[in-house]
Amino acid sequence: MAGKSVTVFALVVLVLAAMPYATSESNLFVLMDVLIAILFATAYNLVLGQTGLLSFGHAAYFGLGAYTVALLQGHLGLPMLVGIAFGPFVAGFFAMLVALLTVRLSGMYFAMLTLAFAQLIYTIIAEWYSFTGGDNGLPVTVPDYFFVTTHYFYLTLGIVAASVFLLWLIVNSPFGVALLAIRENPQRASFVGLNVKLYQVAAFTISGAFSGLAGALSGSLHQMAFPSMLYWTESAQPVLMALAGGIHTFFGPAVGAAIFTILNFYVASYSGYPLLIFGIVVLLLVMFLPEGVVGTLRHWVSRSRKNGPEAVKETAPADAGAGRGTRA
Amino acid sequence: MIIDILIQLLSGVSRGMVLFVVASGLTLIFGVLRIPNFCHGSLYMLAAFVTYSITTAFGSSNAGFLASLIVAPLVVALFGAAIEFFLLRPIAGREHLYQLMVTFAITLIVADGIKLIWGGSYRSVGYPPMLDGSLSVLGRPFPEYYVLVIVAGIVIAALLALMIERTRFGRVLSAAVIDPEMVGALGINVPRLYTMVFALGALLAGFGGALAAPIGSVSLGIDNSIIIESFAVVIIGGSGSIVGAFAAALIIGIVQALGIMVAPRLAIAFIFLALCAVLLLRPQGLLGRRV
């Protein structure tokens, strides 16, 4: 199973690497947004799907990544690539601070607190004009080499592919298994001897760091860091993407990210009421496709393949998992 | 200077009262249904727009104002009951995450729905003629309408406290805040209780929206600012606690009003400082139970 995932993953990366030869420049821009969203959603799901914590403030870490690039450039004159390299550390540091304060609470309380802290970070960035430029945002200058769309595309693809692979290794490591145990039953995990809070803080920090990396790539792509990147409604994006793909699968959030980013692009370009359409899509998705696209497909596949009592067995643990997790 | 501070304090109190009315609904919904109702701000905004339509239809008269105070909350309560019944109840058995995302989807739909019905432009609702003037407080003018808001907030707080202490519904409600499963085991119709609590919460959001319409602006986006402040009230006050919400809303209103005098741009950040302090000292909120 693991070997198969890696093969599929490598194939997808190869197909993406051929894209600059197969499609137009404007499509490449959409594709870069998709790649960045994939990293954001996959990083986010380390907290939601893997650890069972509902964070509603990940836009803050995404935005901090973008602001790291812009601030290092604007105040210290450091080049874009240095900023992108620092982005995950700054975002990860703030994520760790927030996690240290919030992991003592569980369920929906945790969700509201992560939201509140994200808004605090947003407020500081949006109002500290002399340092961050406030509402106007802060520009990012892209070096000449990466001004060529194809070059920046390969940079994005390389960083996203490496990061997603790293996250996959983390999820499949003993550390990842411990997180899963915590999601299923925090009390039992602590009886076994796991330091539950420490693991939760670590997962949140790693997730925040990779979200920051995604944000750093996004800020560099759009040549701007905006306060609205950190606004609380943006924090719903990774949650929706992860849900759309399936939070109990590793690659589900990536699929959800692709669907939502492309949908968003077309709806925003062709409709006067994008929120209305988006809201209805979310409503239908949440009500009728709770396991997400990948999760649902997986059920179908395992059911049709086995078609017997074993198929029921196969799906049972996933359903049991869905009943717990983020419940207060 | 002292007088300036006192006047500012008083307007902070009136601000806190609007926040209390809205957040009391949120804290009841969160306490009983255990979901942070993201669309609470949308219900508030919807009520503000309904108020605009009603007062415009009545030509900004006293009657229009009174009608809006009654009709707008009822419209919103009905809408809230429908949300609970048609969208939340069918998925009540699932993780709370899904219900949370349903309420988020509704914020998107309501925001564009209002744009569709009322258009995107900025509206304003005038003070009702009978409360148009100002009182003299310590020699300074203070709008009469703000006094009404303060009185209304106190009346709502008293009514809610009475309801919780004295009525059967109130006692079932506070029992459900502590343990919803036990309430079900005792033979209470829990789904119906949920719909009623959600409708009551929406009614309060609606009343807050109608009350605030003449003070603030009636425009798209007011849902986002009130919802964050309301969440802060719920966290600081403790989930499901009306008294806690009252205290927290007053603290936030006053902290913000005084904060504006010190550092106008960072006034909102003061809320979060209060929130962090409460969180570190009393994670369950001022009057909440351990979670």
What is the C-alpha separation between B261 and B254, in angstroms, rounded? 11
Do you know the residue count of chain B? 291
Q: Residue B134: enclosing H or E segment and its boundaries?
A: strand B134-137
Q: Which of B102, B115, B275 minimises the CB distance to A283?
A: B102
* Position A327 pLDDT exceeds 50: no
CA distance B167 to chain A (A): 28
Q: Which pLDDT value is given to residue B217?
A: 81
Q: Please indicate whether, in this complex, the C-beta atoms of A115 and B266 are within 8 angstroms of each other.
A: no
Q: Which pLDDT value is given to residue B210?
A: 95
Chain A residues within 8 A of B30 when measuring between CB atoms: 108
**Which range is least confidently modeled, A82-96, A313-327, B177-191?**
A313-327
Chain A residues within 8 A of B272 when measuring between CB atoms: 116-117, 119-120, 123
Percentage of chain B lying above the pLDDT 90 cut? 49
Q: Please indicate whether, in this complex, the C-beta atoms of B98 and A290 are within 8 angstroms of each other.
A: yes
What is the C-alpha separation between A207 and A58, in angstroms, rounded? 9
pLDDT in tens, A117-147: 898 899 889 888 888 888 889 999 888 888 8
Domain ranges of chain A: 24-323
Percentage of chain A lying above the pLDDT 70 cut? 92
Q: Which pLDDT value is given to residue A173?
A: 94
Q: Which pLDDT value is given to residue B117?
A: 93
**Which range is least confidently modeled, A44-48, A99-103, A200-204?**
A99-103
Neighbours of A305 (CB within 10 A): 11
Q: Region A178-201: what's the mean pLDDT?
A: 91
A327 or B127, higher pLDDT: B127
* Position A15 pLDDT exceeds 60: yes
What is the C-alpha separation between B91 and B75, in angstroms, rounded? 24
Q: Please indicate whether, in this complex, the C-beta atoms of A276 and B266 are within 8 angstroms of each other.
A: no
User: Using 50, 70 and 90 to split pLDDT, how confident is the model at A1?
Assistant: low
Let me know: does A31 contact A16? Beta carbons within 8 Å. Answer: yes
Domain ranges of chain B: 2-7+24-221
* Position A323 pLDDT exceeds 70: no
Q: Which of A112, A282, A326 minimises the CB distance to B231?
A: A112
- Nearest chain B Cα to A118, which residue? B272
Q: Region A170-175: what's the mean pLDDT?
A: 94
> What is the DSSP secondary structure assignment for residue A55, as one 8-state letter?
-
* Position A218 pLDDT exceeds 50: yes
Q: Which pLDDT value is given to residue A316?
A: 40
Chain A residues within 8 A of B112 when measuring between CB atoms: 273-276, 279
Q: Region B245-258: what's the mean pLDDT?
A: 90
Task: Locate A17 and state its tokens.
Answer: 């690497």
Q: Please indicate whether, in this complex, the C-beta atoms of A116 and B269 are within 8 angstroms of each other.
A: no
Computed over every residue of chain A, the mean pLDDT equals 88
Q: Please indicate whether, in this complex, the C-beta atoms of A280 and B91 are within 8 angstroms of each other.
A: no
* Position A320 pLDDT exceeds 60: no
User: Using 50, 70 and 90 to split pLDDT, how confident is the model at B259?
Assistant: confident
Q: Region B246-259: what's the mean pLDDT?
A: 89
Q: Which residues contact B275 (CB under 8 A, 6 or more apart)?
A: A116, B232, B235, B236
pLDDT in tens, B268-287: 778 877 777 787 777 777 77
Q: What is the pTM of this model?
A: 0.89
Q: At what angle do helices A274-288 and B96-118 cross, to 10 degrees?
A: 150
* Position A55 pLDDT exceeds 90: yes
CA distance A33 to chain B (A): 22
Q: Which pLDDT value is given to residue A326?
A: 39
Interface test with B, best of A105, A112, A247, A284 (most B CBs within 10 A): A112
User: Using 50, 70 and 90 to split pLDDT, how confident is the model at A307?
Assistant: low
pLDDT in tens, B30-66: 988 888 899 999 999 999 999 999 999 988 888 999 9
* Position B69 pLDDT exceeds 80: yes
CA distance A41 to chain B (A): 16
Q: What Å distances lie between residue B191 and A116, B85, B194, B196, B204, CA to CA?
A: 30, 9, 5, 9, 20
Do you know the residue count of chain A? 328
Q: Which pLDDT value is given to residue A325?
A: 38
Q: Which pLDDT value is given to residue A2?
A: 67
**Which range is least confidently modeled, A298-302, A315-319, B116-120, B218-222?**
A315-319
Q: Which pLDDT value is given to residue A308?
A: 52
3-state secondary structure of A139: strand
Q: Which pLDDT value is given to residue B126?
A: 86
Chain A residues within 8 A of B115 when measuring between CB atoms: 273
* Position B289 pLDDT exceeds 70: no
Q: Region B137-161: what's the mean pLDDT?
A: 91
Chain B residues within 8 A of A111 when measuring between CB atoms: 36, 100
**Which range is least confidently modeled, A28-42, A224-238, B11-25, B119-133?**
B119-133
Q: Which pLDDT value is given to residue B187?
A: 85
Q: Does A159 touch chain B (CB under 8 A)?
A: no
Q: Does A322 touch chain B (CB under 8 A)?
A: yes
